[in-house]
Amino acid sequence: MAELEVGAPAPEFELEGPEGPIRLSDYAGKALVLYFYPKDDTTGCTKEAIDFSSHLDAFAAAGAEILGVSKDSVASHAKFAAKHDLKVRLGSDPTGAVTEAYGAWVEKNMYGRKYMGIERSTFLIGRDGRIAALWRKVKVPGHAQAVLSAVQSL
């Protein structure tokens, strides 16, 4: 699969959410920050979700919504959100189809062991449904603010 680039149409998706299916088309006419993270309730993923949640009002003022995606279940997402008072919407991708469509399912290497996993990555989808910006191999500190700046410049 070819890697997504700025200007490419965002792949359509359908994820599972607590309120029912979540589709890209639900965000038509709005900017969407779609971020992929490895696992609920782990240190980096928790910090990232809290950072995005703390900037939620600023994202909304700039006309953008935020959706975090992992392969964790809807029940796991609900528990994660409640435990950390998260305000961002979380979508479950149990089959990994959406994660793969966005190129976030990659080979990783830890302590010499190779395995497949979710690469922490973020896609800013513009109001036109195209990729406006993307970040791969995200480092959490300062990331939410960097994405907010990009949203504000749309």
Q: Which residues are catalytic?
A: 45
Integer angstrom CA distances of residue 72 from 39, 76, 87, 90: 7, 6, 17, 10
**The residue type at 110:** M
Helix then strand count (H, E) for the chain reads 5, 9
Tokens found for residue 81: 């959100």
Runs of H (alpha helix) within the chain: 43-54, 56-61, 74-84, 97-101, 143-152
